[in-house]
Amino acid sequence: MHMEKHREDTEDTSQKVFTTSDIWTASYLEYRGITPHLEKRNGRVVFQFPSSDTLYSLLNAFNSGDAVPLAEYIDVYKTLKVKMYETRGPR
């Protein structure tokens, strides 16, 4: 089971946003159909998702060890990792 503290940010539009730097959590949410917005902050990339009841239900499922097909989950992880490096740019 993977547990990490997460925080919510508020964008200029006052829309609540769930933000995490954990690529495994982001990969799970992407696998389950919620696509993150990637943002570079202080040289690091964070994943942002619009807050919703569905999002928090999926986070609970993830933290409870919801089973997903490993090969498909790893494919999503690898794709997000490429997007993360593209967003971060050269160091």
Q: Give CA–CA dist 37/49, Å, rounded.
A: 7
pLDDT of residue 43: 87
Q: Give CA–CA dist 64/9, Å, rounded.
A: 24
pLDDT of residue 15: 78
pLDDT of residue 59: 97
Q: Distances in Å between the alpha carbon of 10 and those of 17, 19, 24, 81?
A: 6, 10, 23, 25
Q: What is the pLDDT of residues 3-33, one digit of tens each?
A: 444 544 444 445 799 999 999 999 999 999 9
Sign of CA dihedral 14, 19, 25, 26: positive
Q: What is the pLDDT of residues 23-71, one digit of tens each?
A: 999 999 999 999 999 999 988 999 999 999 999 999 999 999 999 999 9
The residues with which 45 forms a beta bridge, in sequence order, are 40
